[in-house]
Amino acid sequence: MGKKYEITIGIECHVQLATKTKLFSEVDNDARGKDPNTCVSPVDYALPGMLPRLNQEAVKLAVRAGRAMNAEINAYSRFDRKHYYYPDLPKGYQISQFYHPIIGAGHIDLPDGSKVRIEHAHMEEDAGKLNHYDTYSLVDLNRAGTPLIEIVSMPDIHSAKQAHDYCKELWRAMTFAGVTIGDLYNGNMRFDVNISLALPGAKELGKRAEIKNLNSFRSVERAVEYEYERQSKLLDKGEPVRQETRGWNDATGKTTFQRSKEEAQDYRYMPEPDIPPIKLSQEFIDAELAKVPLLPQDYRQKFSGVLPVDTLEVLLDYPQLMHKLSEIISDGESKEDLSDSVKKIIKRVANLFASVLLAEEKSAEMLDHLPSAKQLTDLSEMAEKQELSSTGAKEVFMKFFDPQMTKKDTRTIAKELNVIQENDTGALEAIVDQVIADPACAKAVADYQAGSEKVLGFLVGQVMKASKGKANPGTAQQILKQKLA
């Protein structure tokens, strides 16, 4: 049975730009793990006479963000003052862009093939942070002045799942483009979700509630699901839905009222007099756009039909892994040009990334020290030739991450680990003859010849033991069958 009301969702996302310093002052932009009020300057404190100085690197990253959203880049943009009281922004207003944002209309492609349109994205400074205690609150200004872009979507989202997917794809696009570190836990990206309900076919959208500062894709999905239930119950009882700002409690799974929602005109926007307008040449824009690496949609196109969809979707959360897979393919080579052998290499390496590397407790650290494309290619080829068992291949793969092994080739590492399989038929036949003649194996040999095939595994195990683990078990099994026939 379908739901009674149609849900409409628009999402505003704040993305912390990966600059070294803040938007308007020469202070460290990364306050993770730092003591409160240690990443600050007179500009952040808004001391009299302190003027903002625009960070040019933030402008460059904003241009690249526009490319990642398939958006127009506005050659002319301008900052404005947003007059709204933030207890943790000392000057009493926020420097943002309202009338002339740097990024125009664009869109984000979702995995299901649909698109969510971007209305615009603008640059602005972040506020600080309030730390609440039992009877008092303290202000930490480390985040004050942090460079952000706020990405405003059109109301194209109509389910909790779509909201989840949009936020995840936006996060992927920003991290792949190098625009942000993308640390959700520390607030590098935060989502404000606007939700309204109306009967299907209604000419007007319902009153919206805005859920503030969600920092995980799962929280976005759960908040939408809860808010649908809350608003639909109000509408069923004939009660109005108030336009308001609400907070999300991840522990209770509920939204709670914070304040009534202001309209844009209540912020009393005015042009920022201390920062001149930004005028970008086409050469500047083109130069920054050329620096944007392959994006998630590019990788989907590059590896669709080569990798299983579920494996590809797992790896798309890790730009380093997708880049490393691309290194296996020769420059200019399209997926239509790939040989079957290269496709096998890509699949095997992708499986090692997804099932072995990402299963490691320290995988986040290991991502910064990936093996070379040649090491991975050689490993795959040795496994394909059955020179390495699946277990042996995993051992060699994990050894790649040992700092002492980074300059060694794959075969050398495999030899040092003593995991290269014995494929010489003559040598294996001699070992099989030895096992068959062993009195300890006489009963198993007799049972097999009497029709009990399950003992074959035991005999293969004895061959592996006699060869000190070097025998190819598949080849050993074939020779055993031939000799015992």
Position 262 confidence tier, pLDDT thresholds 50, 70, 90: low
Angle, vertex CA 121, rays to CA 279 and CA 150, nearest 5:
120
Report pLDDT digits (tens) over 277-324: 999 999 999 999 999 999 999 999 999 889 999 999 999 999 999 999
Angle, vertex CA 267, rays to CA 266 and CA 272, nearest 5:
145
Quick count: other Cβ atoms within 10 Å of Cβ 112? 8
Mean pLDDT of 366-387: 92
Quick count: other Cβ atoms within 10 Å of Cβ 70? 17
Is the torsion defined by CA of 273, 275, 281, 287 positive or negative? negative
pLDDT at position 261: 65
Q: Is the pTM of this model over 0.75?
A: yes
Among 174, 140, 171, residue whose Cα is nearest residue 33: 140
pLDDT at position 260: 79
Mean pLDDT of 154-163: 97
Distance of alpha carbon 232 from the chain centroid: 33
Contact indicator for 189, 177 with CB cutoff of 8 Å: no
b or e along 392-411 (b: 16 or more beta carbons within 10 Å of the residue's beta carbon)? bbbbbbbbbbeeebeebebe
Q: Is 190 helix (H, G, I), strand (E, B) or coil?
A: strand
Helix and strand numbers (H, E) in the chain are 17, 15
Is the torsion defined by CA of 267, 271, 274, 277 positive or negative? positive
Q: Tell me: pLDDT of 192 over 70.
A: yes
pLDDT at position 393: 93
User: Could you give the residue ranges of the DSSP H alpha helices within 177-307?
Assistant: 217-236, 282-289, 296-303
Position 469 confidence tier, pLDDT thresholds 50, 70, 90: low
Give the dihedral of Cα atoms 221, 222, 223, 228; nearest 10 deg.
Answer: 90
35-39, 48-52, 320-324, 430-434: least confident range: 430-434
Q: Is 7 helix (H, G, I), strand (E, B) or coil?
A: strand
Q: Which amino acid is at 383?
A: A
Share of the chain above pLDDT 90, in %: 70
Report pLDDT digits (tens) over 403-414: 888 788 999 999
Mean pLDDT of 422-426: 65
Contact indicator for 483, 432 with CB cutoff of 8 Å: yes
Quick count: other Cβ atoms within 10 Å of Cβ 381? 16
pLDDT at position 1: 44
Q: How far apart are CA 15 and CA 59, in angstroms?
A: 13
Q: Tell me: pLDDT of 331 over 70.
A: no
Contact indicator for 193, 220 with CB cutoff of 8 Å: yes
Q: Is 304 exposed, middle or buried (0-12, 13-18, 19+ CB in 10 A)?
A: exposed
- Percent of the chain as helix, strand, coil, to the nearest 5: 40, 20, 40
Contact indicator for 349, 327 with CB cutoff of 8 Å: no
> E strands within 44-128?
76-77, 80-82, 94-96, 106-109, 115-125
Q: How far apart are CA 197 and CA 233, in angstroms?
A: 11
Q: Tell me: pLDDT of 50 over 50.
A: yes
Q: Tell me: pLDDT of 417 over 70.
A: yes
User: What's the mean pLDDT when you consider all of the chain?
Assistant: 91
Beta strands 76-77; 80-82: pairing state = unpaired
Q: How far apart are CA 154 and CA 422, in angstroms?
A: 62
Q: Tell me: pLDDT of 264 over 60.
A: no
Strand-pair partners of 150: 14, 122
Q: Tell me: pLDDT of 480 over 90.
A: no
Q: How far apart are CA 340 and CA 71, in angstroms?
A: 37
Q: Which amino acid is at 322?
A: M
Q: Which domains does the chain have, with CATH numbers?
A: 6-284 (no CATH), 294-415 (no CATH), 425-484 (1.10.10.410)
pLDDT at position 148: 98
Out of 321-335, 408-422, 443-457, the most confident range is 408-422
Among 77, 119, 125, 61, residue whose Cα is nearest residue 280: 77
Q: Tell me: pLDDT of 210 over 80.
A: yes
Q: At what angle do helices 160-176 and 217-236 cross, to 10 degrees?
A: 150
39-48, 215-224, 253-262: least confident range: 253-262
Mean pLDDT of 98-124: 96
Beta strands 80-82; 137-140: pairing state = unpaired
Q: What are phi and psi of 73, to 5 degrees?
A: -105, 125
Q: What are phi and psi of 310, to 5 degrees?
A: -65, -40
Position 436 confidence tier, pLDDT thresholds 50, 70, 90: confident
Structure tokens that stand for 356 in this block: 């072995």
Longest dimension (CA), the chain: 98
